[in-house]
């Protein structure tokens, strides 16, 4: 029986331009793995968002197959039925389900879309979709007591993130990270395991909160800020924590460091629903007195063709007769309306009239199977340089403040992949090309001597 183990350190939003290019020489633990193993860009799913990306990674399946297109998904074609994508939204096996059934021992800490926890052959600490630690956030349930004893109050995420009090955010992020790594290390040292995985959210929170202080290209760059090195210092802190984890694993352990997507500076916000109103696609029965989220706006459905969701990308939904309760578009016109919208969205411009390079996807063009209720269109404004602002009543198309508060960064399509296999000599495969997020699950299974299910779309990396 193979003694091989697999350890995955997931760093949500870890960015190749920073890890591989800018700072590798100053991140000794990470660069040691890169130099002794292999690394490359890891292309995320469409959309490159935490949910569904980590589940795509660990199931080897795209969002269409998972029927999960974002943090909230339409449960039906009504106008109200948006449900959160918890662990129960994932009906497909993730790696730990397969390994558990095969009798392999697993340790999971903080992997998105694991709340509410489900039984595994080992243990699980859930993710930031857990309301708080008064809920059952571990499997088995008793594990919560041990966590409390080891690290005190466990932080699932940062509270009150939309604040200008950056010191407070920093403090919380460091506390969260310290505890997550500490408890994960504790489990590595005290439990038998074949597969162990943790996901740290801190890098994502740092990027969104501190990017403008670091990047001279950012529209709101603040030269000489005391937070200028906040992101680098945090990456260095993470590198030190990784070094501690590496000190407790044995010579049979394959180590992967992965991220679900990258990051880039936010240029601004594109007010999708205000734009739809301006173009005649969305009608309100009552003008809001102040900006309100689209879900709280009084939409004149019989006169509405399309509406959109806000976030790091946009999802557009069409109001189709016979499908939506008060549909507007005749089914036979669905495709022509969609094509017209794609053409107009791809031609969207910035506040100075310059094309922003918006990309628009039809779900059927990017997924080989579509389950659940997919958006009719998926939109990356400015190829993700602009976020989507869903509120109405703003009276503008281009916003330079997020409708929810400050946010310096958006997501980018490429995350990081680093793998060190002690049994694979370094050299020929050092820089890898063409890696996809769905490659991780089959790679883990193959490393652990398991058959890769035929319906996993990724490839097992050697």
Partner 1 sequence: MGTPHSSVVLAAVEPQKLREVAELLKEELTKKIFGAVPTISEITGNGSAQEIVREILFLLEKNGMIAASADEPVYSAEEEEKIRKRLEDLGYL
Closest approach of Cβ 116 to partner 1, in Å? 6
> Among 162, 124, 148, which Cα is nearest to 406's?
162
Q: Smallest distance from the beta carbon of 390 to partner 1, in angstroms?
A: 8
Strand, coil or helix: 399: strand
- By the rule CB under 8 A, 234 interacts with partner 1: no
For the CB of residue 434, give the shortest distance to partner 1 in the complex, in Å.
28
CA distance 183 to 152: 10
Q: How far is the CB of 388 from partner 1 (least distance, A)?
A: 10
Q: How far is CA 303 from CA 284, 299, 389, in A?
A: 8, 9, 22
| CB of 29 or CB of 57, closer to partner 1 | 57
Give the sign of the dihedral formed by CA 207, CA 212, CA 215, CA 218. Answer: positive
By beta-carbon proximity to partner 1, the closer residue of 157 and 274 is 157
Q: Select the residue interacting with partner 1 from 59, 402, 438, 443 (CB under 8 A).
A: 402
Q: For residues 382 and 387, what is the distance between their CA atoms, to the nearest angstrom?
A: 8
Nearer to partner 1, 47 or 442 (CB): 47
Region of 13 (left: φ > 0; alpha: ψ -120 to 50; beta: rest) is: left
Pairing of strands 195-200, 106-109: parallel
Query: Which residues lie below 8 Å from residue 163, measured CB to CB, with a gap of 6+?
Result: 169, 405
Please name the residues in contact with 336: beta carbons below 8 A apart, sequence gap of 6 or more.
Answer: none
Residue 459: CB minimum distance to partner 1, A: 28
Among the residues of 122-257, which ranges form H helices? 143-151, 166-190, 202-214, 230-246
Secondary structure class of 229 (helix, strand, coil): coil
Residue 410: strand pairing partners = 264
Task: Please classify residue 289 by burial: count the beta carbons closer than 10 Å to its beta carbon, then call 0-12 exposed, 13-18 middle and 19+ buried.
Answer: exposed
Q: Smallest gap, in angstroms, from Cβ of residue 82 to partner 1? A: 10
What letter would DSSP give residue 311? Answer: B
Q: Does 128 bind partner 1 (CB under 8 A)?
A: yes
| Pair of tokens at residue 305 | 């063709």
Q: Is 118 in the site for partner 1 (CB under 8 A)?
A: yes
According to DSSP, the residues that pair with 307 across neighbouring strands are 317
Q: How far apart are CA 386 and CA 219, in angstroms?
A: 12
x/- letters, 182..201, toward partner 1 (CB under 8 A): --------xxx---------
Distance in Å, CB of 404 to partner 1, minimum: 5
Residue 100 within binding range of partner 1, rule CB under 8 A = yes
- Kindly write out the interface string for residues 349-388 of this chain, putting x where it contacts partner 1 by CB under 8 A and - elsewhere: --------------------------------------x-
CA angle 66-457-254, nearest 5°? Answer: 105
Site for partner 1 contains 331 (CB under 8 A): no
Indicate whether 72 belongs to the interface with partner 1 (CB under 8 A): yes
222 lines the binding site for partner 1 (CB under 8 A): no
Say whether residue 140 binds partner 1 (CB under 8 A): yes
- What CA–CA distance (Å, rounded) separates 407 from 424? 41
The verdict on 160 binding partner 1 (CB under 8 A) reads: yes
Closest distance to partner 1 from the beta carbon of 1 (Å): 17
Interface positions, 30-49, toward partner 1 (CB under 8 A) = 49
Task: Indicate the residue among 153 and 434 with the shorter CB distance to partner 1.
Answer: 153
Q: Is 141 an interacting residue with respect to partner 1 (CB under 8 A)?
A: yes
Give the range of 14-22, 66-74, 244-252, 332-340 binding partner 1 by CB under 8 A: 66-74
Closest CA relative to residue 408, chosen from 312, 315, 314: 312
Query: Please, which residue, 113 or 348, has the CB nearer to partner 1?
Result: 113
β-pairing verdict for 262-265 and 409-412: antiparallel
Q: What does the alpha-carbon distance between residue 113 and residue 89 come to, in Å, rounded to a whole number? A: 8
CB of 455 to partner 1, least distance (A): 20
* Binding characters for partner 1, 423-452, by CB under 8 A (x = yes): ------------------------------
- Answer for which of 17, 32, 133, 136 binds partner 1 (CB under 8 A) is 136
Q: Does 296 bind partner 1 (CB under 8 A)?
A: no
Residue numbers at the binding site for partner 1 (CB under 8 A): 49-51, 70-72, 84, 86, 88, 100-101, 103, 115-122, 128-129, 131-132, 135-136, 139-142, 157-162, 190-192, 205, 208, 309-312, 387, 390, 402, 404-405, 407
């Amino acid at each position: 029986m193979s003694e091989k183990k697999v350890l995955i350190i997931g760093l949500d939003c870890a960015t190749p331009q920073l890890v591989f290019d800018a700072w590798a020489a100053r991140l000794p633990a990470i660069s040691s793995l890169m130099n002794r193993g292999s690394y490359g860009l890891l292309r995320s799913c469409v959309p490159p968002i935490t949910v569904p990306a980590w589940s795509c990674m660990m199931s080897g399946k795209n969002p269409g197959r998972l029927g999960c297109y974002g943090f909230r998904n339409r449960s039906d074609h009504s106008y109200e039925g948006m449900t959160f994508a918890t662990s129960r939204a994932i009906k497909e096996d993730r790696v730990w389900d397969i390994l558990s059934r095969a009798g392999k021992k697993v340790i999971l800490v903080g992997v998105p879309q694991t709340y509410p926890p489900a039984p595994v052959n080992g243990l699980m600490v859930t993710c930031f979709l857990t309301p708080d630690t008064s809920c059952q956030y571990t499997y088995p349930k008793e594990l919560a007591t041990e966590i409390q004893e080891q690290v005190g109050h466990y932080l699932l995420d940062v509270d009150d993130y939309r604040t200008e009090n950056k010191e407070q955010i920093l403090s919380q992020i460091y506390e969260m990270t310290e505890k997550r790594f500490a408890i994960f290390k504790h489990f590595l040292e005290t439990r038998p395991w074949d597969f162990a995985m943790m996901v740290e959210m801190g890098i994502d929170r740092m990027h969104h909160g501190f990017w403008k202080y670091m990047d001279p290209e950012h529209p709101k760059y603040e030269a000489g800020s005391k937070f200028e090195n906040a992101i680098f210092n945090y990456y260095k802190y993470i590198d030190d924590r990784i070094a501690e984890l590496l000190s407790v694993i044995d010579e049979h352990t394959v180590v992967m460091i992965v991220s679900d997507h990258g990051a880039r500076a936010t240029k601004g916000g594109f007010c999708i629903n205000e734009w739809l109103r301006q173009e005649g696609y969305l009608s309100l029965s009552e003008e809001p007195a102040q900006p309100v989220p689209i879900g709280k706006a009084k939409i004149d459905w019989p006169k509405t063709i399309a509406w959109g969701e806000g976030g790091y990308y946009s999802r557009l939904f069409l109001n189709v007769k016979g499908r939506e309760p008060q549909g507007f578009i005749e089914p036979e016109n669905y495709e022509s309306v969609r094509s017209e919208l794609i053409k107009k969205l791809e031609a969207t411009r910035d506040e100075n009239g310059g094309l922003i390079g918006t990309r628009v996807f039809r779900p059927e063009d990017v997924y080989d199977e579509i389950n659940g209720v997919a958006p009719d269109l998926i939109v990356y404004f400015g190829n993700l340089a602009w976020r989507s602002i869903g509120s109405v009543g703003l009276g503008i198309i281009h916003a330079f403040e997020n409708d929810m508060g400050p946010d310096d960064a958006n997501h980018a399509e490429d995350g990081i992949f680093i793998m060190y296999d002690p049994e694979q000599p370094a050299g020929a495969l050092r820089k890898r090309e063409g890696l996809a997020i769905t490659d991780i699950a089959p790679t883990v299974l193959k490393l652990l001597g398991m058959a890769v299910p035929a319906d996993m779309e990724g490839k097992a990396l050697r």
